[in-house]
Chain A
């Protein structure tokens, strides 16, 4: 993995050139098949080939270019892991192990949910944005931030924003990360609520994961201190028990009724869980769940890959649907910019910059390892997104829309849903919908918005095709739901805790004791505040007749892309200050695209005159109904109506805040760039000075 290409004999060079040319031709041919097919179904294999060939070319050439020309990664230079080796955080780690660690940290529900939702445009926009976006954007961001942080002893993104750009950008980044956290947790909570509502099986299985984590916690605290692997193995076995326990409960009408919960009840339970996880000692709940879900994440990814590779399903979804015009039932908004906001993780995800400037830079053994870990792990995540897209597009479009569209569009029964789907130009019979729901062990799959149930149906299809037949569908479905919910809730509980710390950090400037992270009154107050913040958005999503995803997911997408813009601003500043301004286009290119996407997406969500799309127009419509004394369809009470109006204004304000943050950070960065380029300020890199690598074996 050397960054300088060793001179090879002419014959070898020719073979290599021919090989790479073949990869390029294969990738282009696969893309052509995907793009040009009209009418006939295309096999998923074409999608896989197009993705893998593009990744291979991007990795071989573009990441090598960045490694050699922009950062000049140098294996003779000691990494922080070597210089600061403390045997714990800073430890030189084999590059594949560090790759696994980094991948497990960046992977989450994002790349599974986003592509599933964006499949309403057809498979083509999704696959193009995932594959091109990652090679030129997402992987570049992760790689650049990892290199920048590694050269600065593992400094965090926030610290780098403050030190490289300035205090204004630093503070804006800090506040916007808090805002992003709130929206992220709310939307993930909504995904879980929609997967579990009116599902006794799912509710019992997921509910049991909480005592399972506590058993693991007790085991690691008192029985066998620190034995994480033993406890995780125990936890995985118990998860299997929980899966069957859920099935058992669902099969007994008396018990099933007790665990058939409404969205509102589940939302309150999720909030209570988030609060508890933030307040309780970490060994009891948070830490064991963290370990368990890391294993589960890797397991789900491998299972999905095997399922798709074995089944190689045909794509039932057309390349493009009529919903590219913005009239889609799952979320409103035209292809541009909404395909690029809906699929954030998988193409480019700002959150990764927080990981790439967190634990990973403290593990690199050699500088050149940053290439496979920073750029390579993001390609892997992108591949997960491609697989989620395949799972969604392998479903019959009628089934896909019946699961993912909101109740207000589908109506209450399988008959009304089939009629609605027919109006959108797809075919599904009421009997098919009812049979499918029965097969997966649910009373209904209609309007389970949020992407998780549809992915679970898709994966259950793939698995049961190769293993177990349709009898096993229900088990596979709940198996996937359990795993998705497990790692979503782990993001939710840890995120609540992170948010609590950030809130305490900000709040201590107003009232000193509030910042004490070990003082119970401050802990309870700050935890309650952060839960109230995301809980408000979650509640809004649950009562929203449009399904909640319609308003929350675009906000999440915009916020995630905003964070990516922050990371790319930091990256550009670092590159310019290294005296490499001529290569600044590497980060400026994706940055420019993100600014266009977030600003136009934000503006549309605020000002569009279409009520399904624009927050202000929606508020206007509801106010007109309120003034006329009527309730719009799907709204249950006058109280809900006035809450929804307030929420529309809040959503508009949040969108405005994210847009303003983009402008502030961009302006502050541009000022710094200009100062350096014009010569007003010396181009001084803040890298830790070069120290030669000792190359001690072992340690």
Chain B
């Protein structure tokens, strides 16, 4: 564990991203990466604004719910 802290951290981050995607939670880091890659030059939302905006998107037109 002491030997490769970076590898461990990267693995944890991947696990976190996977869990977020499964439950449909917003992923700020992925969003930042997307903005940097696809829309260079634009200022991304702050973490807080992103969280609020994601919530609004998810629930303003709620999809459906399963039994």
Spell out A's residues near B (CB within 8 Å).
Answer: 85-89, 91, 93-94, 97-98, 100-101, 104-110, 156, 177, 184, 188, 220-221, 225-226, 228-229, 232, 282-283, 286-287, 290-291, 294-295, 298, 344-345, 349, 351-352, 354-355, 358-359, 363, 491, 494-495, 497-498, 501, 517, 556, 560, 698-699
Contact = CB atoms under 8 A, between A and B. Distances in A.
Interface of B: 16, 18-26, 28, 30-31, 33-35, 37-38, 47-48, 50-52, 54-55, 57-67
A287 B66 contact: no
A226 B67 contact: no
Contacts of A220: 51
B64 A498 contact: yes
A97 B18 contact: yes
Given A229-B20, A351-B67, A358-B64, A287 B55 contact: yes
B54 A294 contact: no
B60 A699 contact: no
Given A87-B38, A110-B66, A355-B66, A501 B61 contact: yes
A497 B62 contact: yes
> What DSSP secondary structure best describes chain A's contact surface?
helix
Contacts of A85: 34, 38
A295 B23 contact: yes
A293 to B, nearest CB: 9
Contacts of B58: 282, 287
Nearest to A177: B64
Given A226-B54, A495-B65, A291 B30 contact: no
Given A101-B22, A105-B24, A228-B20, 16 more contacts: A91-B21, A91-B30, A107-B66, A108-B65, A109-B67, A225-B47, A229-B20, A229-B25, A282-B55, A349-B66, A351-B67, A355-B63, A355-B64, A358-B63, A359-B24, A556-B67
7 contacts: A85-B34, A87-B34, A100-B22, A225-B47, A226-B28, A354-B64, A497-B62
Contacts of A188: 67
Contacts of B25: 228-229, 291
A132 B67 CA distance: 21
A88 B24 contact: no
Contact of B21 (A101, A286, A290, A352): A101
Contact of B47 (A226, A494, A556, A698): A226
A402 B55 CA distance: 45
